[in-house]
C-alpha cells in the first residue's frame, strides 16, 4: 500500500523540516501532526501539516507512515504507547539521535514482527535552534540519514523501499549500520562536539561574563566552535541519558589528549599532536 498519509509526532525542527521537504518534493498525500496545541497551530500556519491532534492514538489513525520526531526518551515511550495499536501495514520510524535503546524497545513491543513494523532512523541534520519556526525544506540536502535495520529486515520491498525512496528525494544520503555501532559513532561525531562546544561556551562565560564581546573578537574559529552551544538542553538531556556510556568514553579520551597537550605546550610532543590531527584533513581530501 503506497504512502498516502503521514503522521509526524513532534512538529519541531526535524519533524517540521521533513514535512516541508516532502511537500517540496511532490508528496501529494496528507500530513498529520501530533504535538502540543500551540505547536500544532504554528505548524499549520506554516503549511507544515494539514491537520493535527494532541492525542497520538488519534493522530496516527489512517497513516501508512508514522515518524516519531521527539526527544529520545519520548520516542521510547511512544513506541510502547502507540505501536501495539498500529495496523500491521503501517511503518513506524523515528529520527532519534541514539538508537540502541530505541531498537530494544521496538523489539520488546513488536517481538518477532519488529522487523516488519519498525525501522530506526537518524538524519544527521539540524540547527542550533529548535522549533517549527526554524523548519527548512532543504535541511536534509546532502545530509547522511542513518538507518539502523533490525536483524533480517528487508529494506528493498514494500513500504520500506518507498520510505527509503522519499529519504533520497528530500536530498539525504542513506547509510546503514547496527544500532550499537550507530551510537558509538555518533558519540564521537555528534554528541562529543556538542559537549565540547557547551563546555567551551560555559567556560568563556565564567571567565569573561555574559556581556563580553567574545565572538567578534574571537573570529570565525570561536564562532564555529560555540555555535551549537545554544542547542536546547531538553533534547541533549535525553541523548546524554540514552547514550551515556559511549559519550563518557569519548569525553574521557579527549580529556586525556587535552591533558597531554597541557603538559607539553613547550615540547616536541605538541608538534606531534598537531601532525596527528592533520591526518583528519588528509582523510577528507582522499574521499
Q: How confident is the model at residue 70 (pLDDT cuts 50, 70, 90)?
A: very high
| Same domain (yes/no): 151, 210 | no
**What mean pLDDT, rounded, does the chain reach?**
93
Residue with cell 546503514: 176
- Which pLDDT value is given to residue 234? 87
Residue with cell 616536541: 268
| Same domain (yes/no): 156, 212 | no
| Same domain (yes/no): 15, 113 | yes
Looking only at the bridges linking them, the beta strands covering 173-176 and 51-53 are unpaired
- Which pLDDT value is given to residue 215? 73
Q: How confident is the model at residue 129 (pLDDT cuts 50, 70, 90)?
A: confident
| Same domain (yes/no): 139, 188 | no
> Is residue 104 pLDDT above 70, yes or no?
yes
- Displacement of CA 63 from its chain's centroid (Å): 22
- Which pLDDT value is given to residue 284? 60
CA-nearest of 23, 40, 22 to 32 is: 40
Among residues 119, 146, 177, the one where a domain terminates is 177
| Same domain (yes/no): 172, 191 | no
| Same domain (yes/no): 193, 94 | no
| Same domain (yes/no): 71, 189 | no
Mean pLDDT, residues 78-88 = 96
| Same domain (yes/no): 62, 155 | yes
> Is residue 287 pLDDT above 80, yes or no?
no
What CATH number did the domain enclosing 140 receive? 3.40.50.720
Pairwise CA distance, residues 162 & 155, whole Å:
9
Pairwise CA distance, residues 182 & 123, whole Å:
12
Pairwise CA distance, residues 6 & 26, whole Å:
14
| Same domain (yes/no): 81, 97 | yes
Residue with cell 525544506: 137
| Same domain (yes/no): 170, 225 | no
Among residues 177, 205, 221, the one where a domain terminates is 177
- Which pLDDT value is given to residue 120? 97
| Same domain (yes/no): 151, 89 | yes
What CATH number did the domain enclosing 238 receive? 1.10.3660.10
pTM of the model: 0.91
CB-based contact 21:48 (threshold 8 Å): no
| Same domain (yes/no): 108, 21 | yes
| CA-to-CA separations, 252 to 17, 72, 182, 192, 236, in angstroms, rounded | 35, 23, 19, 10, 18
- Which pLDDT value is given to residue 128? 73
**Structural domain tally of the chain?**
2
Among residues 177, 199, 225, the one where a domain terminates is 177
Range of the domain at 279: 182-286
- Which one has a higher pLDDT value, 221 or 217? 221
Amino acid at each position: 500500500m503506497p504512502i498516502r498519509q503521514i503522521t509526524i509526532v513532534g512538529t519541531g525542527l526535524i519533524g517540521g523540516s521533513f514535512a516541508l521537504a516532502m511537500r517540496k518534493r511532490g508528496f501529494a498525500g496528507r500530513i498529520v501532526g501530533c504535538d502540543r496545541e500551540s505547536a500544532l497551530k504554528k505548524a499549520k500556519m506554516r503549511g507544515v501539516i494539514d491537520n493535527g491532534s494532541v492525542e497520538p492514538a488519534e493522530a496516527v489513525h489512517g497513516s501508512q507512515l508514522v515518524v516519531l520526531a521527539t526527544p529520545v526518551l519520548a520516542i521510547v515511550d511512544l513506541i510502547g504507547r502507540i505501536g501495539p495499536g498500529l495496523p500491521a501495514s503501517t511503518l513506524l520510524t523515528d529520527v532519534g539521535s541514539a538508537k540502541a535503546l530505541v531498537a530494544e524497545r521496538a523489539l520488546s513491543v513488536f517481538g518477532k514482527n519488529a522487523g516488519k513494523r519498525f525501522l530506526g532512523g537518524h538524519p544527521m541534520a539540524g540547527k542550533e535552534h529548535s522549533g517549527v519556526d526554524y523548519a527548512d525544506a532543504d535541511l536534509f540536502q546532502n545530509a547522511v540519514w542513518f538507518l539502523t535495520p533490525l536483524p533480517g529486515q528487508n529494506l528493498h520491498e514494500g513500504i520500506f523501499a518507498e520510505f527509503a525512496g522519499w529519504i533520497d528525494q528530500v536530498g539525504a544520503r542513506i547509510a546503514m549500520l547496527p544500532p550499537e555501532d550507530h551510537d558509538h559513532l555518533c558519540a564521537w561525531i555528534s554528541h562529543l562536539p556538542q559537549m565540547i562546544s557547551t563546555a567551551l561556551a560555559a567556560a568563556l562565560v565564567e571567565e569573561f561574563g555574559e556581556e563580553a564581546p567574545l565572538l567578534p573578537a574571537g573570529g570565525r574559529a570561536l564562532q564555529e566552535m560555540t555555535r551549537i552551544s545554544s542547542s536546547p538542553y531538553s533534547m541533549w538531556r535525553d541523548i546524554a541519558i540514552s547514550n551515556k556510556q559511549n559519550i563518557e568514553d569519548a569525553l574521557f579520551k579527549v580529556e586525556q589528549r587535552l591533558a597531554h597537550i597541557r603538559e607539553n605546550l613547550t615540547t616536541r610532543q605538541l608538534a606531534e599532536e598537531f601532525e596527528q590531527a592533520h591526518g583528519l584533513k588528509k582523510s577528507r581530501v582522499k574521499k
